[in-house]
Amino acid sequence: MLHGYTQSGPLFHAKTKALEKSLQKAFPQVKLHYPTAPNRIHKADIPNFGNSKPSNDESKSNGVEDEPDAWGWWRRRDDSSVYLGMDDSFTFIAEVLKSEGPFDGIIGFSQGGAAAGMVASLLEPGRQEAFAAAEANGGRKYPESFLDDKGSWDGLIHPPLKFAVSYSGYGAGTHPLYKAFYEPKIQTPILNFLGSLDTIVEEKRSLFLVDACTDGRKEGRLIYHPGGHFVPSSQGQYVGALIGFIKDIIGGGSGSKEDSVENMDVPF
């Protein structure tokens, strides 16, 4: 479970408690992990942070305001399309995959949704070759932290993921550094949730990720909810869509076949 920009694992966990309970009911053996990204986000990195003033002096320590408990998988360099801190995050995620995995899937929100798509891509067969080809034209190297020549998954630290889910996520765009994440298209089944009233992430950025997936526009893989930039974790039809998607991919669960995503009343 990958949190969004300026959040943390514990905060994301608290915000998605209802979703966790629904998943545990549908899949009694499920265990969710909520890591906190390794890049500290400072006040200066958070737009309009200074506009929110504390009502007391608890935010100060020895006359100096404490930094917020805010973390990110990367930071954007100035106004460019270059992300800083991405290597540290992939190294950190690789350690989580090795120490706590293997995992069936990955779920992310906002920046975490973008990261989820990238991780799913990195673990696919043939992705190393795509990165090698792109590197010759200004692309980034395949993360060495994901490589293991002694591993049993074609030289990687983890087998390909069975599925990924992105809530209000997005793609990194057309910058040459990130081309290999999306070309060739991501084969891992990805379910994308977009808020029709989302003012934080532009729809075209989210649709970039959708269209970078082989089945991105397939029925049941792109779902709009009538809200903004959040995870609709307490709204039954959207939780049902998530559970149905996972059941379709990996099977199992405590529900019946009639609970499958094709039979749900969901506005696809």
- pLDDT 10s per residue in the chain (268 long)? 999 999 999 999 999 999 999 999 999 999 999 999 999 999 877 776 555 444 444 344 444 467 889 999 999 887 778 899 999 999 999 999 999 999 999 999 999 999 999 999 999 999 999 999 999 989 999 999 999 977 678 899 999 999 999 999 999 988 999 999 999 999 999 999 999 999 999 999 999 999 999 999 998 899 999 999 999 988 889 999 999 999 999 875 554 343 443 333 322 2
What's residue 129's pLDDT?
95
229 is catalytic: yes
User: Which residue type sits at 159?
Assistant: P
Set 13, 87, 104, 229: catalytic member: 229
Give the number of other Cβ atoms within 10 Å of residue 250's Cβ.
Answer: 14
Give the single-character DSSP code of 82.
Answer: -
What's residue 252's pLDDT?
55
Look up residue 200 and give its two tokens.
């934080």
Q: Where are the alpha helices (DSSP H) in 151-199?
A: 179-182
Which CA distances in Å does 147 have to 2, 184, 227, 231?
21, 20, 39, 32
Q: Indicate the angle between helix axes 236-250 and 17-26, nearest 10 degrees.
A: 40
Q: Give the CB-side neighbour count of residue 110, counting CA atoms within 13 A.
A: 20
Look up residue 101 and give its two tokens.
């995995």
198 is catalytic: yes
What's residue 233's pLDDT?
86
Entry pTM: 0.87
Q: Give the CB-side neighbour count of residue 250, counting CA atoms within 13 A.
A: 18
What's residue 151's pLDDT?
65
What's residue 164's pLDDT?
98
Look up residue 214 and give its two tokens.
């082989």
What's residue 65's pLDDT?
60
Task: Decide if 3 contacts 37 (C-beta within 8 A).
Answer: yes
Set 89, 110, 145, 206: catalytic member: 110
Give the number of other Cβ atoms within 10 Å of residue 225's Cβ.
Answer: 22
Instruction: Give the chain's domains with CATH numbers.
Output: 9-55+64-263 (3.40.50.1820)
Set 198, 206, 225, 233: catalytic member: 198
User: Which residue type sits at 164?
Assistant: A
